[in-house]
Amino acid sequence: MELNKSTRHSKITGDFAENLILYWLSKYGFECTIVDHTGIDIIARNPHTNELMGISVKGRSRDMGKEENYLQINKDNFIKAEKACKAFECKPYFAIVVDSGNMIYAFITPMEHLLELFPIKKTGAGWKMTTKWLEVYRNDPKIMIFEFSHKTVRWWKDY
């Protein structure tokens, strides 16, 4: 099914990603909230480590045939996350949510680990979404993951 996304789809995708991460953290006992601050989107207290996390959420919606496209994270996102986390005395994390084909993937990892995997190049870093990298993430204890498979059972005839 070819999709014709709305003009606000990027904004809605970002809001969905933030709220999905917030929901999942809350479901598992994290005290957390969305914050309107440059560099981070969520502040959460990890009940397992007592660590205060400043989380920058990146969400993408991929068209069919582009499921394996990597997610670009601009260099300034890392600088802004670090500054915000310094101000709030929390550890910088990144959460990545990708709606890809019939799967929604969500990953949460410390910023320093993301940069170990994908050091910043000229313009930033890229989170890879190939089958090979998905398996790497699943075997990496420093990356928390949840994922959903989904299907549209019935929709309007134009689709």
In a domain, 4, yes or no: no
For residues 129 and 105, give the distance between their C-alpha atoms in angstroms, rounded to a whole number: 10
Polymer length of the chain: 159
In a domain, 134, yes or no: yes
Give the type of residue at 13.
T
Number of domains in the chain: 1
Per DSSP, 94 falls in state E
Q: What is the pLDDT of residue 65?
A: 61
Model confidence over 13-66: pLDDT tens digits? 889 999 999 999 999 999 999 998 999 999 999 999 999 999 999 998 866 666
Q: What is the pLDDT of residue 158?
A: 61
In a domain, 156, yes or no: no
CA 105 from chain center: how many Å?
A: 8
Domain ranges, residue 85: 9-149
In a domain, 50, yes or no: yes
In a domain, 155, yes or no: no
Q: Is pLDDT above 80 for 3?
A: no
Q: What is the pLDDT of residue 50?
A: 97
Provide mean pLDDT across the span 61-80: 81
Average pLDDT of the chain is 91
Give the type of residue at 103.
M
In a domain, 25, yes or no: yes
In a domain, 2, yes or no: no
Provide mean pLDDT across the span 65-90: 89
In degrees, rounded to 5, the angle at the alpha carbon of residue 69 between the alpha carbons of residues 95 and 125 is 55
Token output for 148: 């959903």
Q: What is the CATH number of the domain that holds 56?
A: 3.40.1350.10
In a domain, 154, yes or no: no
CB burial of residue 2 (10 Å; 0-12, 13-18, 19+)? exposed
Q: Is pLDDT above 70 for 68?
A: no
Cβ–Cβ under 8 Å, residues 118 and 127: yes
